[in-house]
């Protein structure tokens, strides 16, 4: 199923299942978020400039506003509240942490931020951070796009970084899987990386400019191949299967219905049975 979302050029970008049983999608170019039901009904709400990553936490939706240096809180009925961040932050990545706080990446100021109950803490990152995800080890993991490295921070600790084996790789997406591994995309090197529980880093060629990555329900991960108009399923054993989905696939999410949903910046979201 394909659902057109927003006005032409709105730019569906990232998506997440909401606490209300719908999918929520950032529209990066129009400054909106869209609520998409399982039967394809769409409702759009204005939130601010360049909404980027989105997640559900504390019974509401949260997204980063890269163009407004802010976080936005959106209730399931569309009420929006914004929380300013330091000027120049350009927040992008966002994840709910194991400590109950929201964690974000500030690309403009090269920091990792923690937000809880209106209180803000920031930590210098060893390079420009991109996406961030909670790991199974109780830490937050993030990609360092310009430093070509993977970062890790424990709540109450300081960020540490580790270079990936391939130089000039441009890490972007990151996720944790059920087996304790952390997977990440290397958009410049066209590879998928995996940090095993013992710390070993493996890399797998994956043509098509891999962008976002999420855990699959049963085995391995799903990856959006932005340059190829495809998504790929990569098993724990490294087997790759691709599927054509449409122009400029970015965000991925497993919906409340158990299906894979893909945000196409070209103007739609696509539902795929797993």
Catalytic residue ranges: 250
Distance of CA 216 to the CA centre of its chain: 14
User: Are 112 and 125 spatial neighbours (Cβ–Cβ below 8 Å)?
Assistant: yes
Q: Which helix (H) or strand (E) holds 195?
A: strand 191-195
* Token pair in block for residue 126: 């060893």
Burial group, residue 171, by CB count within 10 angstroms (0-12, 13-18, 19+): buried
């Amino acid at each position: 199923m394909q659902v057109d979302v927003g006005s032409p050029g709105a730019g569906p970008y990232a998506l997440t299942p909401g606490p209300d049983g719908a999918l929520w999608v950032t529209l990066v170019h129009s400054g909106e978020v869209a609520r998409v039901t399982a039967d394809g009904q769409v409702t759009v709400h204005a939130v601010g400039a360049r909404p980027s990553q989105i997640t559900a936490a504390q019974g509401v939706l949260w997204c980063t506003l890269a163009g407004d240096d802010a976080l936005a809180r959106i209730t399931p009925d569309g009420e929006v509240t914004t929380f300013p961040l330091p000027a120049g932050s350009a927040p992008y990545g966002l994840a709910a942490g194991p400590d109950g706080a929201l964690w974000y990446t500030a690309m403009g100021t090269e920091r990792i931020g923690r937000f809880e109950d209106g209180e803000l803490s920031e930590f210098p990152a060893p390079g420009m951070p991109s996406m961030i995800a909670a790991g199974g080890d109780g830490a937050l993991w993030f990609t360092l796009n310009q430093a070509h490295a993977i970062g890790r921070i424990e709540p109450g600790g300081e960020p540490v970084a580790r270079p990936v084996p391939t130089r000039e790789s441009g890490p972007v997406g990151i996720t944790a899987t059920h087996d304790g591994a952390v997977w990440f995309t290397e958009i410049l090197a066209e590879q998928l990386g995996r940090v095993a529980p013992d710390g070993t880093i493996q890399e797998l060629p994956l043509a098509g400019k891999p962008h976002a990555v999420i855990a699959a329900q049963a085995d391995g991960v799903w990856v959006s191949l932005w340059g190829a108009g495809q998504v790929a399923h990569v098993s724990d054993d490294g087997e790759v299967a691709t599927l054509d989905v449409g122009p400029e696939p970015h965000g991925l999410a497993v919906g409340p219905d158990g299906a894979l949903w893909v945000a196409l910046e070209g103007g739609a979201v696509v539902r795929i049975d797993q």
